[in-house]
Amino acid sequence: MPRVVRIRAYWAHRELHHEHKLVRVGPNELITGDPDIIRSINKERSGYNRGAWYTGGRLNPYYDNMFSLQQPAAHTRYKSRVAHGYTGREILDMEIGMDEQIGTLLCVMRDRYARAGRHLELAEVTAFFTMDVITRLAFGEAFGYLAQETDLYGFLGGLRVLWPSLSAAADVSWLRQILFSTPFLQLLGPSPRDKTGFGALMGVAEHHVSKRFGPDAEQATDMLGSFIHHGLNQQECEVEGLFMIIAGAESTASAIRSILVHTMTTPRVYVKLKAEIKAALEENMATSPIQMDQALKLPYLQAVVYEGLRMRPPVLGLLPKVVPAGGDTLGGQWVPGGTNICSNTGALLRSRSLFGPDADVFRPERFTELEATPRRRDMERSVEFAFGSGQWQCAGRKIALMKLSKTVFEVGALNPPCLALSSPVQ
């Protein structure tokens, strides 16, 4: 125990999962990095509900979003109404809209930074980019973060300041019950009348939604249009509109940063990736901008994307599910009903049994060495635990993977040099 206390919980839990399938981390709370256990508790009709931790995803005092719904039946009904929007099935120009924002990103990198000799702050630029992508897909028009190179509404800065506190509050039961309660959110929570932060973004989302429900409303084939088509009312669209911005922006920005930093600071990998990109363009295997069906046929590109996701998954929350009444047997151990079973995605994606003895090393070749074999697909499915699994899997997984593949290809084609880091990678 003294050794565990001295180390940050994340690292302690990850090490413990090399030896144990289930680890107790608090009263009535276990955590696991075992893929079979996680699949079991997340599958359809498993009897497991989401834990109260998910209340932390609720920003509106009156309405839940898809993330904060805890009962499987209610979540399934709601997801059936928004899934077509999140998967892009009903967004006719989804890839075109994404290509527009990638084009803006490349222009900014090339014209405002490379040619001007300016230092590029990767964290800032990728956050601006993903905000523009999600708002373009959600509302039919990008908010313009990249074009203005400004944190509009102070949302991103506010999110980074608040996120550690929000995460801690979600993990601590008594804090969660206070800070995410309806009375607290009514009195002190974000408001659409705020000038900056979450509240300001709520106001912007409400403005865009109101235009679709007014007397002169015109519907569009974007995510919001899909939600309306499947029966979401104005209030539900406002809540989901805010959630999809939060869920679709900073998480994928984090993934893009992980992939690019790991790749560009590993010259062997970067040279190999650029060679595949160059060959694909010269042999007409890829257009510019690349289309997703073309990107899926580039094995090393896909290996780099999956390996970058594996090294630093974008979401590392507890994601607890509650053992049903009567208990359950998990990993050969009986667990009483009412126990929270949390997922340790970071430990799962560094599992030596799944990814080999060098699982802590960034090495995309672990995928390409297997070529198009069932074992490679099994490894890719394991990485996709970063998006959840089963009935609770992230509805935006397809859009996220498309964004990652296309962005990494196009930035690689731009041919920036290997990074000289101005500060150590944390």
> Is the pLDDT confidence value at 2 over 70?
no
Residues 31-48: pLDDT tens digits? 999 999 999 999 999 999
Closest of 422, 416, 390, 415 to residue 50, by C-alpha: 390
Question: Which parts of 189-342 fold into alpha helices (H)?
Answer: 197-213, 223-229, 234-264, 267-282, 292-295, 299-311
Rounded CA-CA distance 19/216 in Å is 62
Indicate whether 422 pLDDT > 90.
Answer: no
**341-367: per-residue pLDDT in tens?**
999 999 999 999 999 999 999 999 999
pLDDT for residue 317: 84
Q: Is 394 annotated as a binding residue?
A: yes
| pLDDT, tens digit (0-9, with 9 covering 90-100), for 185-212 | 888 888 889 988 888 989 999 999 999 9
Indicate if the pLDDT at residue 3 is higher than 60.
Answer: no
Check whether 6 has a pLDDT greater than 50: no
Helix, strand, or coil (residue 343)? strand
Q: What is the pLDDT of residue 10?
A: 67
Distance separating alpha carbons of residues 225 and 219, to the nearest angstrom: 6
Average pLDDT, the chain: 90
Could you identify the residue written with the tokens 């300041």? 161
If one compares 230 and 426, the residue with the highest pLDDT of the two is: 230
**Residue 417: pLDDT over 70:** no
Q: Model confidence at 5, in pLDDT bands (50, 70, 90)? A: very low
292, two tokens: 């997703």
Query: What pLDDT shows up at residue 425?
Result: 45
Task: Enter the tokens of residue 5.
Answer: 């206390």
Q: Which CATH architecture best describes the domain 2-414?
A: Orthogonal Bundle (1.10)
Mean pLDDT of 145-152: 94
Over the stretch 304-341, which tens digit does the pLDDT of each residue have?
Answer: 999 999 999 988 888 999 999 999 999 999 999 999 99
Q: Write down the domain spans for the chain.
A: 2-414
**Six-digit token string for 260:** 């690019």
Q: What is the pLDDT of residue 418?
A: 56
Identify residue 5 by its one-letter amino acid code.
V
Q: Which two tokens stand for residue 192?
A: 């659409």
**Res. 180 pLDDT band, cuts 50 70 90:** confident
pLDDT confidence of residue 424: 46
Task: Please tell me the pTM assigned to this model.
Answer: 0.92
From the number of C-beta atoms within 10 Å of its C-beta (0-12, 13-18, 19+), residue 80 rates as exposed
Start-end of H helices in 88-222 = 94-107, 122-139, 145-148, 155-171, 173-179, 182-188, 197-213
Percent of the chain with pLDDT over 70: 95
